Amino acid sequence: MRPLATDTHDFPALRRDGKIYVDKTMFIHRLIAGNDTKLFFMSRPRRFGKSLTISALKAIFSGRRELFKGLYIDGTDWKWEKYPVIHFEFNDVTTTSLEEFEKDLADHVENRLREAGYAYDNTKSAHYNFGMAITELAAKCREDGNEKGGVVILIDEYDAPVGHALDDIDFAEKVRERLSAVYSQMKNRTGDIKFLFMTGVSKFTRLSVFSALSNLVDVSQDTEYATMFGYTEEELSANFEEHLREHARIMGKPYDEYRAEMKWWYNGFRFAKEDPTTVYNPISIALTLKRKQKDFSATWATTGRPSMLMNYLKREDVAGIDYMDITEVTEDEFDVAELRNLRPVAMLFQSGYLTIKDYEDGLYKLGVPDEEVRRDLAKTVTGVIADESTAWAASLGVKLLTARWFEFFAGLKSLYAHMPYGSTEDCPHEAAYQRILCTLLASQGIRYRAEDVQSDGRADVVAEHKRGIFIFELKVGEPVDKAFAQIRKKGYAEPYIASGKPIWLIGLSFDGETRRLVDYAAEKFSECS
């Protein structure tokens, strides 16, 4: 089996090592071969192949055709001419302080301009040098015989420093100002730019690059680039068949069942409003097939959560949104122009925790892409609620499944108490507390149904696991006895008797004024009771 690429964003190294590369050069050729447009922006979540694409573009504009043998672009009429390439990677620029950021940014710009062949002037600022590099390198390219020549500018994770600083908005705005000084150097030099490709997680429209480059084209939701990042079902089969079948054998699953479960775990990202095609997260596939464990598990999260989202969530009442199903979202809600007024939907969407589920009449329906993301989002939200320092939140699922009720209820009570303001509703309904419970269950990998519809009513939450069925009924301002009375009267346990699993009935009662869990109990269901 050909080796998997799990640890490299270096396209030349990947090709030299014979690792699997899912051919995306058709999309790259579409970008670079057009006559009308040459300045592009693409937003995608982290670990979706943006850096690898930037590396491939750098190799193309460096004339390294040998690296693309057998790929789509090798069979086109691309001329394989060499151009000066300025390649910035801003994800690792330090943001521990403004002084450190300014120094690290200046060093990064200097190093990358020197790599491009520009004689850096240390008596001038980094942004001045960037502007002069564009002018001088473009002139040299034309002097060398390429009359239509110019500079290729590749900017990977252009927004990363701002995202890293979002826990301090004043600082983030200063970081944005320093970056804007660099990006603004392109404004009056577009004639010297052969091609610009800029990637990031979010589109911070107040960064000067968007106002300065009026002809910068955002292709993030374009139908023709919907599957440029991520793997379709067809690409997965065509490139990873041997690995997939070996993993199915190790898991002891029929191949069709294995593929269906893999899709549920890792495929669900939709990036175009007009194209319903969904894709797999590339790093999830690479790590899953590399490890070939006997169970599917979350992999994307093991590569690190986006600091931009984490820093934002620390400032928000994260319990007030039903992340699983968000309807009637307008284009305006994706806007992240104002750092002081960022929208939760925009941050979650651009970080990859929400994706397009449907689009009609100018309105989006959003939801969590897949099981892996569902679990990680739930863990993230639970961790933020619990101040991230409390390890008990991560073990509540085990305590539930092993019926260690004293410990489970103590932890659950503490979880609700950690909510800084409780529910955002003025008059909290059970659903306000239900969201937290569902988030906890999801974070522990426990499947559940909220508002479980039955013949004689709806159970608030029903969680299912191989260890048992757990039926929750929540009350606000009423004793927990009423929760049990309702469960029995409505027969919420009856649909699950045939499962043969132990069934637990759980009542939770909340104080509507303090918004805390004040009473709770659990009992094992018996048909004789």
User: What pLDDT, on a 0 to 100 scale, did the predictor assign at position 422?
Assistant: 43
Helices (H), 252-401: 255-266, 282-291, 307-313, 344-350, 371-385, 396-401
Return the percentage of the chain with pLDDT > 70, whole number. 89
Which of the four CATH numbers 3.30.300, 3.40.1350, 1.20.5, 1.20.1060 does domain 386-524 have? 3.40.1350
The C-alpha angle with vertex 112 and arms to 106 and 114, in degrees rounded to 5, equals 100
Tokens of 258: 């294995």
Across 80-84, 345-349, 452-456, the highest mean pLDDT is recorded for 80-84
Q: Which residues pair with 42 in a beta bridge?
A: 199
H helix or E strand, kind and range, residue 39: strand 39-43
Amino acid at 197: F
pLDDT digits (tens, 9 = 90+) for 325-357: 788 888 877 766 677 777 778 888 888 889 999
Fold of 11-220: Rossmann fold (3.40.50)
Question: In which band, very low, low, confident or very high, does the pLDDT at 468 lie, cut at 50, 70 and 90?
Answer: very high
The partner residues of 469 in beta bridges, in order of sequence, read: 464, 503
Residue 457's H or E segment, with its range, is: strand 457-465
* Burial per residue of 481-504, b for 16 or more beta-carbon CB atoms within 10 angstroms, e otherwise: eebbebbeebebbeebeeeeeebb
* pLDDT for position 331: 81
Greater confidence (91 vs 318) lies with: 91
Nearest by Cα to 277 from 361, 369, 373? 369
| Under 8 Å between Cβ of 439 and 378 | yes
3-state SS of 57-114 is HHHHHCCCHHHHCCCHHHHCCCCCCCCCEEEEECCCCCCCCHHHHHHHHHHHHHHHHH
Answer with the residue of higher pLDDT: 127 or 375.
127
Cα torsion 316, 317, 318, 321 to 10°: value is -120
**Please, which pLDDT band fits residue 515 given cuts at 50, 70 and 90?**
confident
Q: What pLDDT shows up at residue 114?
A: 97
> Which helix H or strand E contains 461, and what residues bound it?
strand 457-465
- pLDDT confidence band for 461 (50 / 70 / 90): very high
pLDDT at 151 over 70: yes
Q: For position 421, what pLDDT does the model report?
A: 45
Domain layout of the chain by residue ranges = 11-220, 233-302, 307-371, 386-524
Q: What does the pLDDT average to over 381-403? A: 71
Radius of gyration of the chain, Cα coordinates, nearest whole angstrom: 26
CB-CB neighbours of 327 under 10 Å: 12
d(CA 423, CA 297): 31
pLDDT at 389: 46
